[in-house]
Amino acid sequence: MKEEVFRMDHVTTDDFETTNLDNMSLQIYKGEIVGLLPVNEQGRKKLIEVMCQNVPIHYGRIYIDGLPVNSYLKSDQSANRVSVISAQNRLVRDLTVSDNIFVLRRGFRQYIIQRKVLNREAKRLFSQNGIEIRPDITADKLTEFQRVVIELIKAVLRRDRLIIFDEISSFLSMKDILKLRDMMHHYSAQGFSFLYIGNHHEEVCHICGRVLMMKSGRIIKNIRDRQISAQDVLKIAGSEGYPELYVRLQNPMQQPEPPLDGNTAGNSVLELRNVTSSYFKHVSFSVHPGECVVLLDRSMSLVEETLKIFTSPGTLEEGEILCGGRCLTREAPMRLLDDSIAVIQEYPHKSMIFPHLSFMENLSILSDRKISSLFLQKKVRKSIRREFEPVFGKDLDIRDMRTASKESKYSLVYYRYYMLRPKILICIRPFSGADMYLRRHILKLMQKLMERGIALLILTSGLADTYFVADRLLLLEKGHLVCEFPKENFKDLWTNLLQNQ
């Protein structure tokens, strides 16, 4: 008989007249790895909060190990034995790994810390999972994956009843996630339970035994089929309108081909020829007008190293970079916008919006690169308003950007470059933290840019929905280009990538 670890029974929560969780019910059993796939953001943060702490709820009951811990009648604000592992670092940066694991643990009562004993025990825990981490280094020297491993081991030693992974694919590579999956299976066999929250069904279904789909604060589907298709997920979620994205998977040969074959030089807007740097090893590829190329690296070094070779070509040890036919030499440092290359950062709604400027000012902030005359600025802004009023509507009148929706902020950033019209736009992990609706919106924006002839180079460590808009996917491993997937092979892309692990 299954042993219940956690149960929510018809829980409803309200914050300032807004319903977060709406009649939410779920059960998690001992040794189970359950996935949670939020269709939208409503209720996700509140769900984690009520799992970790017995805060007041409007209706329903919560049980741990079959015992009631919270209800609409009584909430004592006590903490539950539930831990969360996310992008937030919960380690003490100035303490060693072994100190973080053992000394800070509740119940540690040794007055004299035996460093050698703690380090030896930490090494034993790491070796059980095939992980190599020095126990004597401080936490600020750990990689993101190592930090997640330490937090997982701490939760296991505390004997937490439930361990929640919250969108770890936004900062971990696919290779790291697969290692973490093996650790989860190792500990689930010992009776630990996990809730894995992710934004992409293929990622979540591959890791978890069953998957719960959540929409608007309630569970709408319990999925047990690991091979469920993207089309079925969208039907369940009620997400119509992915603009011909799935046609690419079903009928790839019916799609228009990129202007030139990806392996030829021709009219490429960007070309790397035998590029070697401190990270890249003899990498060659090209990107053409209106084409979308995805660079997928299982490590987290891709973004920093790629931008480094573009902004500082002097770091190249061998090879050359051509942009619009111009060779970037060591003697000619590159300015991205001057060479018609633009960059959209990760989380652009935070990093690329100026909150003290209005919506119109944010949208037209790069227009001076096209028109230098200050006399024409007022006319230009009127022209921009006329052209984009059908796109943004009343958003153009927003004075305080803090009141703009996340979707509107993404539209603003992408249309900023739609107006600028660079030859190539580099998108850094564009789907990080995006729910299903926002990913659909980002894909539409990308298609608009490609229709305008702008080439896209997507830098990412995970698949997300990149293959719905990509023409080619290039897989890198330790700086080497190990595999290239044309779009006709995208249908089995997840399986192919796993075989290349």
* Average pLDDT value for residue range 389-394: 92
Q: In what order do the strands lie in the sheet with 33-38?
A: 82-85, 162-166, 194-197, 33-38, 210-215, 218-223
Lowest average pLDDT, out of 47-61, 109-123, 366-380, goes to: 366-380
3-state SS of 423-481?
Answer: CEEEEECCCCCCCHHHHHHHHHHHHHHHHCCCEEEEEECCCCCHHHCCCEEEEEECCEE
Order of strands across the sheet that contains 318-323: 283-287, 270-276, 318-323, 326-328
Domains of the chain: 4-91+142-237 (3.40.50.300), 249-340+422-499 (3.40.50.300), 354-421 (no CATH)
Is residue 494 predicted with pLDDT exceeding 90?
A: no
Q: How far is CA 42 from the centre of its chain?
A: 18
Give the pLDDT of residue 79.
Answer: 93
Cα distances (Å, whole numbers) of residue 407 to 111, 350, 351, 449: 54, 12, 14, 17
Query: Residue 111's pLDDT band (boundaries 50, 70, 90)?
Result: low
Least confident of 31-35, 223-227, 486-490: 223-227
Higher pLDDT, 251 or 311: 311
pLDDT at 287 over 60: yes
Q: pLDDT for 418-434, tens place per residue?
A: 998 999 999 998 988 88
Please state the three-class secondary structure of 22-64 as a single string: CCEEEEEECCCEEEEEECCCCCHHHHHHHHHECCCCCEEEEEE
The model's pTM is: 0.78
* pLDDT reported for residue 34: 95
Model confidence at 322: pLDDT above 90: no
- Residue 18 CB burial class (10 angstroms; 0-12, 13-18, ≥19): exposed
Least confident among 43-57, 200-214, 257-271: 257-271
pLDDT at residue 265 in the model: 45
Look at residue 6 and tell me whether its pLDDT is greater than 70.
yes
Nearest to residue 217, comparing CAs of 359, 345, 40?
40
